[in-house]
Amino acid sequence: MANKEHVELLKQGVEGWNKWRSENPDVEVDLSEADLSDAILNGPDLSEAILTDADLSGATLSWANLRRANLR
């Protein structure tokens, strides 16, 4: 189950999300089962994030960093 704080932070915008990620590099990001459908996320750092069963239908993830993200 997704960490609600992570989901809310991401939904507030990519700029704030990426700043938080750079300040908290050791935090395991859990967005599993999150509803991110139709979200416009241009350039988010989702590296190493857990995205298992997240709903990304219709989401825009241009320039997203998905390096080593779990997309199962």
- Structural domain for 24, as ranges: 1-72
Phi, psi for residue 22 in degrees, rounded to 5: -70, -30
Q: How far apart are the first and last CA of the chain?
A: 14
DSSP assignment, residue 3?
-
pTM of the model: 0.91
pLDDT in tens, 21-67: 999 999 999 999 999 999 999 999 999 999 999 999 999 999 999 99
Q: How many domains in the chain?
A: 1
For residues 40 and 43, give the distance between their C-alpha atoms in angstroms, rounded to a whole number.
Answer: 10
pLDDT at position 18, please?
Answer: 98
For residues 56 and 59, give the distance between their C-alpha atoms in angstroms, rounded to a whole number.
Answer: 5
